[in-house]
Structure 1
Amino acid sequence: MNNNVPENERAIWILKNEGEKTLKELSQALGVTTEGARFQLLKLSNDGYVKSESRAKGRGRPQQFWSLTKKGHSKFPDSHSELTLRLINKIKENLGEETLTELISSTGQDTLQNYLNSIPDTATLEEKIEKLAELRKQEGYMATYEQDENGNFLLIENHCPICAAATLCQGFCSTELNTFQSVLGPNTKVERVDHILAGARRCAYLISKK
């Protein structure tokens, strides 16, 4: 957990990084009693940052699942979103869609070169993914990765700092996917399995060897 997070916002940070949780799960993650967790959640709910949904999970009584609201997600800022949207619209109006596509592609090439300079070609696949996650985390994507029992990897981005721009122009997302594929090499398959713009709480990429 990020130790710089204010005490009263730790639940927001956990829900952003780990997704919805029950009261018991959240109390364990916070290291407090269920009553302490309930107090935090009710306050955050009153402030509009979290919401709960009653849902059956197996046998027994329905459970309350807590997750972030749109206002809760907005606690993690979209980098310079207003200025970015204005610039994108101006480029479209004055220079056309094709020029915008070329600019996004050029920016993607710069990002790719930066990643290639930072990630040795001789590194193992996991070492490459670990470094890529570190670089994305530095850029504000709250990135991490994990490996499943089949040896495949999941690169997870719990936040998108350019979400407003990507919503307006999804060329950013396709460029991002192509960049990951180029960084990890031709013997690797990269597939987006979760997408914030499609309504998921995060973006996630399944990475496997061909």
Structure 2
Amino acid sequence: MAIAQQPSTKQDILQYLWQHDSATAQELATQLEISQQAVRRHLKDLEVQELIFYSAVAQEMGRPQHVYQLSSKGSDRVSPASSINYSTFAVSLLDTLAETVGPDQVSHILGKQWERKAIAYREALGDGSLQERVTKLVELRKAEGFMAECHSLESDRRFIMTEHKCAISNVAESFPSICGHELEMFAQVLPDCIVERTHWIINGEQRCGYLVEER
């Protein structure tokens, strides 16, 4: 079913990527009922504005295919107002806590919150293989608003988990220590693994990445 035309085709593209996580130029052209050439012009403009980015995905035959996704900036552009308001409220609340009890205590509170999250994740993941647990963790993160995915490296003992859209990016910008607690949380969720950060949105990169390696 084609998406109804809106005054801005670029906005349609952003909205589609928000709803479906990723898409190729051909898929967008089909859904928007416009030519691939027109779609590619819009995609190029959106890239220049840093609202989207693409990954080259290998195919069995032919050249790699470009798969487009929203950047954090693009996600903010199309996020529902309620989501933005909740993020603003969370940052304001943490600012108030920092003024009241001090930044160290706020960091301690955030750490406790992630510990609770780790317990919930571990219960949900169960005792399957590492691949099964990482795959389940990615699904849980996607359900919470993170654009997550994972890829195996050489064997079923090493995986790269990436998150292209951070559901707590606004909070992390004001309180980057939350990302440190998040890394610790992943290590608690996968206690038989070494978990290392490979990419970080806060550093200006397009995604957060974690290397998960079985001990």
CA separation in 1, counterparts of 2:70 and 2:47? 9
Supply the AA of the counterpart residue of 2:25.
S
Offset from partner CA, 1:71-90 (integer Å, 9 cap, x none): 52313546522111111111
Q: Tell me which residue corresponds to 1:55.
A: none
Matched, 1:191 2:188: no
Name the SS of the counterpart of 1:82 in structure 2: helix
1:110 is aligned to 116
* Distance in 1 (alpha carbons) for counterparts of 2:4 and 2:130: 36
Give % identity. 25
Whole-Å Cα distance in 1 between the matches of residues 77 and 123 of structure 2? 32
TM-score w.r.t. the length of structure 1 is: 0.72
Aligned-pair Cα RMSD in Å: 3.5
Post-superposition offset of 1:209: 1.9
Change (3 A) 1:179 1:43: closer
* Structure 2 residue runs without a partner (length 5+): 6-11, 54-67
Aligned to 2:98: 92
Q: 1:192 to 1:43 in 2, by over 3 A?
A: closer
Residue equivalent to 1:160: 166
Distance 2:96 2:213 in 1: 40
Q: CA deviation at 1:208?
A: 1.3
- Given candidates 199, 208, 211, the residue that maps to 1:203 is 208
Per the alignment, in what secondary structure is the counterpart of residue 193 of structure 1?
strand
Residue of structure 1 in register with 2:25 after alignment: 27
Q: Which residue of 1 aligns with 2:138?
A: 133
Q: How far apart are residue 148 of structure 1 and its match?
A: 2.4
* Equivalent position SS for 2:145: coil
How many residue pairs match? The answer is 185
Q: Unaligned regions of 5+ residues in structure 1, if any?
A: 19-24, 53-65
Query: TM-score with structure 2 length normalisation?
Result: 0.71
Separation in 2 of the partners of 1:118 and 1:194? 26
* Residue among 129, 132, 142 paired with 1:124: 129
Inter-CA distance 208–69: structure 2 relative to 1 (3 Å threshold): closer
